[in-house]
Structures are given as C-alpha cells and as structure tokens.
C-alpha cells in the first residue's frame, strides 16, 4: 500500500470516509485511547474497518492504528467512530492522569517504577 | 501489549528540526518509532463545512511516536513534536492530557527552543530541558540556562539521545520534576480548600448566619450477591 502523501491522494481519503472529513463532535478518541476489537472482521466489510479489527485484537492506541493503516489521525478517528457506533470496537479511555490540572500521584508513581525497571 | 492494558499516557518530546527527537524516542521505545499524520483543522470547525473539499482543507504533517509498556495495564507513548512556531497547531492534540514534556536542545541552534519553552510556560505544561550531546564544544549548563532564560526550578540535564540509559534518565527526571511540582503545590491547595470550607471563613466570620449543612445520608453497602 502506498502512503497517502501530503496532497497526493485526497480522492482515496474521500472514499475511505465516504466524504466525511471529520468525526462527529464529541468523538471519544484521543491519540492514546486504547482501542479493542469486540468482534472479528467479516466478509464484505470495508477493508480499512477489517484492518482495524485485526490490529485491535489486543489493545492498540489510536496513534498506532493510524500509523499502521498509513492514514492521518483524523481519518482514522472517523473510521473508529463508525466501528464504535456499531459496537465492533470498544475504547479504553486513559484513566484521568490529571485531576483539576494536577497529575494523579498514583499514576506518576507507576510511571516512575516502570521507567526505572526499563 | 497486555490484553488488560487500559491506560495510555503520553509524554511529548519537543525540539527543533534535527535535534534528536526521533533518535531519543527510538532509543527508549520498545517498537521502532512509528510515524503518522495529523490533519490541520480550521479554527471554525463547527462553522465551516469543508466536507466537499477534503483535499483542500487537509494538509498533513507527520509526527513520530514510540511506546513503552510500563506495566500490564499502563502504556506510555512518547510523541515527537516540532518546536517551531509554525507547527503549533499540532500541539493542541499532542499536549492535551500529556503528563509533561521534554525540550530537547541543540546548543548550536538554541533559538529553536525559545518558542517551545515560552509556549510550554504559557500552557502550564510541566517540562524539563535536555541538552543533546552533539560532541561539539560544551558550554557549561549554567550558560545554557542563561541563554534559554530558564527558571531556576526547571531541571536542565545533559543527555545522549542515542543512549537508552540516557533517554531513560531524562524521562525519570521529568516525572520526578512533575511529582515535585505536585508536592510543592499540594499543601497550598489543601489550605485553600480548607479555608473555603471553614465556617469561620469569609461570610461566616462577618456574622452572616451559616446555612446548616447536613451530611449526606450514608447508605449501607449492598450485600454481596452469592450465587
């Protein structure tokens, strides 16, 4: 699959999302939201949707899905919103890393322990 | 990644072109750094319907990222963001919810870092500065601090972006800095909350009758269902 470059394949992106250029307001996906497939790909499914379901057999971040599909993040989010609406994927939201603008000390401690163990 | 993973966190590495962001991400990431693209969206997102001309409205820019699995449930992502002013539209998405940032500095091109530091201070994002060692004549760190006009409490460290240990140390320094900011701030916050709740605060002290506050009824925990 060739990489859609800066402006070289707008038609393809247009087709992939059936003309939509952004996901619906309030889309729950952040770059690090973990996506998990809730079902297998089925024949006849749009190939990008099927590819997402295969990628997300294990929790996979939105950014990773986008990179693997070689699609811009915003296009990926539209595809993910479709699958979420159909119940084919679920989104695991980052536990709140910050409470009222201040980082959660438990999460910071976890990060420190993890980094020291690298 | 573990099937139970449910927590994605992020740290952003910012810096000018060629300062070693991708190299640093590469050296600490468990995956080869991946690259994806972000689309530029218009400010009038809800007003303008640009769906008919997606090719026109979506110019893309690539950014790199890597992954570090911290525990069975927690995954840390490192994103590389260009520090120059013209890439600031990328920052909103990359920095939303980020724990903090590392500003990577090449002392031969120090002006690339000014924008980033200024912007981070305004965003209130915790950050540290790491000087990447390019093997040239090394200025004392204090001189670098002066050149960057960096506040004294912000850590400034040396690093070698090619070394995993060095990259790891930079990240630990950042998280420890975030933790110390939190701890430094905490007593004040607690004090403010306590003052606001105190019956002797403000109106209470002025003699205004206090509204009787009743404690919420404590509901007994539901008995465990046994099957």
ipTM score? 0.82
The tens digit of pLDDT for each residue in B188-217 reads 554 554 555 444 444 433 443 444 444 444
Domain ranges for chain A: 10-117
Helix (H, G, I), strand (E, B), or coil: what is residue B138?
coil
The answer to whether the pTM exceeds 0.90 is: no
The tens digit of pLDDT for each residue in A1-15 reads 444 444 455 667 777
| CATH architecture of residue range(s) B7-35+62-192 | 3-Layer(aba) Sandwich (3.40)
Q: What CATH fold (topology level) applies to the domain A10-117? A: Arc Repressor Mutant, subunit A (1.10.10)
Paired sense of beta strands A98-99 and A102-103, if any: antiparallel
Q: Tell me how far apart the alpha carbons of residues B124 and B4 are, in angstroms, rounded to a whole number.
A: 32
Q: Is the pLDDT of residue A86 over 50?
A: yes
Q: Tell me how far apart the alpha carbons of residues B124 and A107 are, in angstroms, rounded to a whole number.
A: 19
Structure tokens at B150: 């960096």
Q: Which of B6, B58, B178 sits opposite A21 (nearest CB)?
A: B58
pLDDT at B49: 43
Residue % of chain A over a pLDDT of 90: 50
Q: Are B130 and B145 in contact (CB under 8 A)?
A: no
Q: Are A103 and B59 in contact (CB under 8 A)?
A: no
- Picking from B7, B8, B52 by the largest number of A CB atoms within 10 A of its own CB, the best residue to mutate is B8
CB contact under 8 A, B39 and A74: yes
- DSSP secondary structure code for residue A87 in this structure: T
Set of chain A residues whose Cβ sits within 8 Å of the Cβ of B176: 112
């Amino acid at each position: 699959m060739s990489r859609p470059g800066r402006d070289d394949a707008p038609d393809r992106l247009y087709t992939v999302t059936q003309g939509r250029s952004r996901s619906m307001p309030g889309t729950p996906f952040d770059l690090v939201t973990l996506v998990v497939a809730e079902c297998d790909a089925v024949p006849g499914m749009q190939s990008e949707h099927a590819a997402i379901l295969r990628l997300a057999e294990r929790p996979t971040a939105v950014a990773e899905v986008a990179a693997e599909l070689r699609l811009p993040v915003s296009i990926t989010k539209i595809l993910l919103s479709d699958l979420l609406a159909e119940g084919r994927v679920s989104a695991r939201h980052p536990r709140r890393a910050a409470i009222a603008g201040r980082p959660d000390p438990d999460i910071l401690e976890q990060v420190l322990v993890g980094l020291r163990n690298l | 990644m573990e099937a139970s993973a449910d927590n994605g966190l992020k740290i952003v590495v910012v810096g000018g072109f060629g300062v070693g962001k991708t190299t640093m991400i590469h050296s600490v990431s468990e995956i080869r750094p991946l690259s994806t693209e972000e689309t530029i969206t218009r400010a009038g997102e809800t007003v303008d319907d640009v769906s008919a001309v997606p090719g026109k409205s979506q110019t893309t820019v690539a950014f790199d990222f890597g992954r570090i699995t911290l525990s069975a449930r927690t995954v840390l992502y490192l994103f590389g963001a260009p520090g120059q002013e013209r890439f600031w539209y990328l920052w909103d998405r990359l920095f939303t919810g980020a724990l903090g940032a590392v500003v990577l500095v090449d002392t031969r091109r120090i002006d690339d870092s000014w924008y980033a530091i200024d912007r981070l201070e305004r965003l209130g994002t915790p950050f540290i500065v790491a000087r990447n060692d390019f093997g040239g004549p090394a200025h004392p760190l204090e001189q670098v601090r002066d050149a960057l006009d960096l506040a004294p409490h912000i850590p400034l460290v040396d690093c070698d972006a090619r070394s995993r240990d060095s990259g790891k140390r930079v990240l630990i320094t950042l998280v420890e800095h975030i933790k110390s900011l939190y701890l430094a701030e905490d007593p004040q916050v607690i004090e403010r909350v306590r003052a606001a709740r105190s019956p002797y605060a403000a109106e209470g002290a002025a003699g205004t009758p206090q509204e009787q506050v009743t404690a919420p009824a404590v509901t007994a925990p539901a008995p465990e269902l046994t099957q």
